[in-house]
């Protein structure tokens, strides 16, 4: 049975998943430009999953997959569950001090290079701010 808290947490995680997909898309777009000409979408998929130039993005891809998998599970999602995902995302994109500094270095470089990444980052940060908070009564 779905509770109001479960519905609220699912809505927040769904919104976060969409925001992360957009952020990931923007990061891929910029990294592809830096990499050089890529042929078909299949070639891009092969590069993203196998080429060292794109390997750093796999951490974000994996986290996105974990969120999607959790949303597919029927068990109730509590605020504490959603907060785990918030902290995991913050470990990658900030502002967590205990974050993944290797990922963060590459990420921050793209933040400085691409306004579209800045916009997607801002949208994700807004979504993160609401996660783990009590739902409105």
pLDDT score at 2: 67
pLDDT score at 44: 83
More confident residue, 98 or 11: 11
Helices (H) and strands (E) in the chain, counts: 6, 0
Predicted TM-score of the model (pTM): 0.89
Using only the alpha carbons of the chain, give its radius of gyration.
Answer: 16
pLDDT score at 133: 65
pLDDT score at 76: 93
Task: Tell me the C-alpha distance between 67 and 92, whole Å.
Answer: 15
Task: Tell me the C-alpha distance between 15 and 10, whole Å.
Answer: 8
Structural contact between residues 82 and 14, judged by C-beta atoms closer than 8 angstroms: no
Q: pLDDT, tens digit, for every residue of 85-134?
A: 999 999 999 887 788 889 999 999 999 989 999 999 999 999 999 997 65
pLDDT score at 22: 97
Q: pLDDT, tens digit, for every residue of 31-90?
A: 988 888 777 888 888 888 888 989 999 999 999 999 999 999 999 998 999 999 999 999
pLDDT score at 134: 52
With bands split at pLDDT 50, 70 and 90, how would you rate the model's confidence at 27?
A: very high
Give the residue among 13, 132, 20 at the shortest CA–CA distance from 69: 13
């Amino acid at each position: 049975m779905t509770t109001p808290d479960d519905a609220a947490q699912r809505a927040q995680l769904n919104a976060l998943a969409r925001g992360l997909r957009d952020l990931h898309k923007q990061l891929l777009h910029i990294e592809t430009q830096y990499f050089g000409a890529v042929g078909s979408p299949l070639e891009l998929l092969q590069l993203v999953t196998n080429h060292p130039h794109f390997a750093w993005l796999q951490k974000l891809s994996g986290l996105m997959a974990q969120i999607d998998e959790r949303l597919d599970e029927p068990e109730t999602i509590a605020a504490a569950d959603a907060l785990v995902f918030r902290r995991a995302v913050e470990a990658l994109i900030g502002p967590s001090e205990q974050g993944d500094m290797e990922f963060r270095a590459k990420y921050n470089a793209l933040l400085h290079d691409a306004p579209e990444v800045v916009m997607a980052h801002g949208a994700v940060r807004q979504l993160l701010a609401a996660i783990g908070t009590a739902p409105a009564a």
